[in-house]
Structure 1
Amino acid sequence: MAFGIVPGAAVTGYGYIRRCTPVAGGGFGVAAFVEKPALALAQRYVASGVLVEQRYVLLSGQPLPARAGHTPPRLIGRLQQRKGPAQTDVDFVRADAAHFKACRADSIDFAVMEKTDAYVVGPMDASWSDVGAFAALWDVLPHHAQGNVHRWDLLAHDCHNNLVMTEYTLVATVGMHDTLLI
């Protein structure tokens, strides 16, 4: 089961999961994946309850390709071509580096999840925000005097509504308004 994020706002840098009918045991079937839609479409998705896809998944102990009913042939084929014994680490089997590097670098959702009808999604409403975006940092970090947000030492004179991001450095600003300073 994947956990689809209930979005608080339309974002264009992520994929969306359109869910369909409820399934026995909880969750919903997946109608479609839509990768990084335009803003207008993302806004329609948010208004209609479409979920943001963030690769949060809950898996059983059964191997994923067997569980999903799909084996990514380029991945499994390359690993089966390896020579010599595999290395084991507790209950994890490691392929040798050469064969692992020869495998296609696909994400789990693209290689397996998007290619099976056994995929189930459950909505997760956890006030999630992508704090990798400056707008999200503005939303989640504390606003100090005059509405400024900063991540290290800031001396500000006549400055309002600025986002100032530094590491281990004192920054001084004068008369700056509505600005992002990195």
Structure 2
Amino acid sequence: MSALGKSFVGLTGILLLTAGYIYIFKSCWQPLALCSKPFVRIGDRCYFFSSNKEPSYEYYRMVYKNRAFSVPVVMDWMHANFGCETIDPQARLVTVRSAQEMRLISDYMRYRAHVQTHSIFWSGGHRGRLSDPKDVDHKTLIDFYWHQHAYPMNFTNFVATKQPNRRFENGFCVYLEFTGEELVMGVEKCDRKIAFVCELN
């Protein structure tokens, strides 16, 4: 075999080997998906803050499937859930999984979410496990859950002065409050109208 033939065979082997490695490891190398408007990327998730409009703006106007509509900046907990689904069918009120995620959201809020006007936001947390979409399992009311999760929250950071009591005077729905330094959790009556944060599921 000539030198040219040996180089061709060697080059072909290298190309096939490289292609094999690319095929095997391509699932490990995937760029982060972009967040479509009005969602913003924080860490590796996409979020929507109802207060991301100017403080004087009462509604978030948007177009979805060629229909224009407005989502209020402040709503009660139940309507905030519906508001998230209206913005995107895959969206729901935010679930905070860790202290790191709480810190990332807090850093974003410090500079971009009009916290001087809206420092309190609904999250997807609630007291008691939902046995179905309309009812709460009353035996679980001492714990807090995210959405339809079967197990209590694995991360909380209720401030001592906002720690919910067992007599349920604080309400049933979990909000996030930006204190200027950090984001903390509190419990409020679900019919209070405040801003809200959604995330893409």
TM-score in terms of structure 1 length? 0.21
Higher RCO (CA-CA < 8 Å; seq separation 6+) = 2
TM-score in terms of structure 2 length? 0.20
